[in-house]
Amino acid sequence: MKLSKLNFSMAQITRRDFFKEIGRECLIRGILPCWLFALLKSTHVYGAKRAEILQEARYYKKLPHGRVRCHLCFRGCEILPGKRGFCRNRENINGVLYSIVYAKPAAHQIDPIEKEPSFHMIPGTHILCTATASCNFRCKFCHNWHLSQRSMEEIPFSIIKPEEIVKKALEHRCETVSFTYSEPTVFYEYMFDIVRIAKTKGLKTLYHTNGSISSEPLLDLLKYMDAVTVDLKAFTESFYTDISSSELEPVLQTLKTIKSYGRHLEIVNLVIPTLNDDPVDIKRMCLWIKTNLGKGVPLHFNRFFPNYKLTNLPPTPIETLERAHRIAKEEGLEYVYIGNVPGHEMNSTFCPKCKKKIIHRTHFSVSAKEVKNGKCRFCGYPIEGIWA
């Protein structure tokens, strides 16, 4: 395409009009490169929506020359004017850090609470789930990569303010608002405002996280959060570095903080063949959980299926999951589950004392509950969780 044939003068055109003219010319000629389509879509569709709600970020520090330092997660991104942090969701605009995904959920639906998974929190009830684009990890195996590994310009989103989320939860008789699918840390301000309103309306609050959040924002959030499900992706630094582009230690610190604060905690370990299924590492992980968090913290060993950048690996053999389950029980953990295997017996809850089945599950469906006032109905043993 020759710019001389376009209907504008380069001396007078603005950058915005320059791209509009190129886009118009491409459409006329039937030529629309994918990169230009994404840019035009961002400018003319999502650009207006983005300007509608722009929320100043929490937990950052202003630096000289218009730079800012984000303190939300372990990365501590230093962000130049006009640039975004690693998570893609926090942008430095004229020396002020903004959350550009505030009130812009890309996923919004009702799920059974067991799908989170949260097995020890009012079983058989429903949660209203909310998520925006992007994440501060780059997990090669992510099952929700179409959300977590995309920026807000690359996927559709809605405009839904925090009070509207709470209203929807009440209208649909959901007992809990939940934050999941992508990483809630990267839409922290949105989540924080929702849970603060939700608690005034009698709703429970839950979020599913990779555990990489910094201590100060986590402690502020836990004031309004009833429960947290944390992905403990592996128990080696090499896995976190090579497979998730992240770090293990911040996650361990988050787990300890949640437990010490007294909030309900559940842990998910997605077992991936050849990458994190070493029995020695699984045993070390289970011992760490028992020593630092207690034997009553529910642990979910979930089955991996080929996805995103790890399509070369097979699904996790069920025998591998059952071996991990045995190791955890031998180390003294009381509530150990096998997930993503519909119909497996170890998807149900058994009393640690009398060994009777006290919650009967088939995948995400609960058909029987034998927990009364937080105790096993058969023997009276206290069962860790939120039951009311």
- Tell me, yes or no, whether 77 lies in a domain: no
- Tell me, yes or no, whether 70 lies in a domain: no
User: Which pLDDT value is given to residue 53?
Assistant: 80
User: Which pLDDT value is given to residue 24?
Assistant: 44
Q: What would the two tokens of residue 134 be?
A: 């992007």
Cα-based distances in Å from 110 to 165, 210, 353, 359: 12, 21, 34, 22
Contact present, 289 and 324 (Cβ < 8 Å): no
Q: Which of 44-58, 129-143, 278-292 has the lowest mean pLDDT?
A: 44-58
- Tell me, yes or no, whether 254 lies in a domain: yes
- Tell me, yes or no, whether 302 lies in a domain: yes
- Tell me, yes or no, whether 34 lies in a domain: no
Rounded Cα distance between 120 and 118, Å, is 6
User: Which pLDDT value is given to residue 37?
Assistant: 31
Q: CB neighbours of 105 closer than 8 A, spacing ≥ 6? A: 130, 131, 132, 157, 158, 160, 165, 190
The domain spanning residue 182 has which CATH number? 3.20.20.70
Model confidence pLDDT, tens digit, residues 157-181:
999 999 999 999 999 999 999 999 9
Model confidence pLDDT, tens digit, residues 168-217:
999 999 999 999 999 999 999 999 999 999 999 999 999 999 999 999 99
Place of tokens 């997990």: 139
Rounded Cα distance between 289 and 206, Å, is 21
Q: Does residue 38 have a pLDDT over 50?
A: no
Domain count, the chain: 1
Model confidence pLDDT, tens digit, residues 303-316:
999 999 999 999 99
Query: Phi-psi bin for 246: left (phi > 0), alpha (psi -120 to 50), beta?
Result: beta
Q: Does residue 22 have a pLDDT over 80?
A: no
- Tell me, yes or no, whether 292 lies in a domain: yes
Q: CB neighbours of 268 closer than 8 A, spacing ≥ 6? A: 117, 208, 229, 230, 231, 232, 300, 302, 339
Model confidence pLDDT, tens digit, residues 324-374:
999 999 999 999 999 999 999 999 999 999 999 999 999 999 999 999 999
Torsion of CA 379, 371, 288, 224, to 10 degrees: -140
- Residue 308's domain comprises 107-376
- Tell me, yes or no, whether 371 lies in a domain: yes
Rounded Cα distance between 313 and 272, Å, is 8
Average pLDDT over residues 100-106: 97
In DSSP terms, 128 is beta-bridged to: 110, 177
List alpha helices for 59-100, DSSP H.
none
**Torsion angles phi and psi, residue 190, rounded to 5:** -65, -50
Q: Which residues of 91-108 are buried (b: 16+ CB within 10 A; e: fewer)?
A: bbeeeebbbbbbbbbbbb
Contact present, 370 and 359 (Cβ < 8 Å): yes
Predicted TM-score of the model (pTM): 0.87
User: Which pLDDT value is given to residue 25?
Assistant: 43
List alpha helices for the chain, DSSP H.
15-29, 34-41, 47-52, 145-148, 162-171, 188-200, 215-222, 237-244, 249-261, 279-292, 318-330
- Tell me, yes or no, whether 353 lies in a domain: yes
User: Which pLDDT value is given to residue 52?
Assistant: 59
Q: Does residue 11 have a pLDDT over 60?
A: no
Q: Does residue 36 have a pLDDT over 80?
A: no
Average pLDDT over residues 59-76: 98
Query: Phi-psi bin for 380: left (phi > 0), alpha (psi -120 to 50), beta?
Result: left
Rounded Cα distance between 112 and 123, Å, is 9
Confidence of residue 27 (pLDDT cuts 50, 70, 90): very low
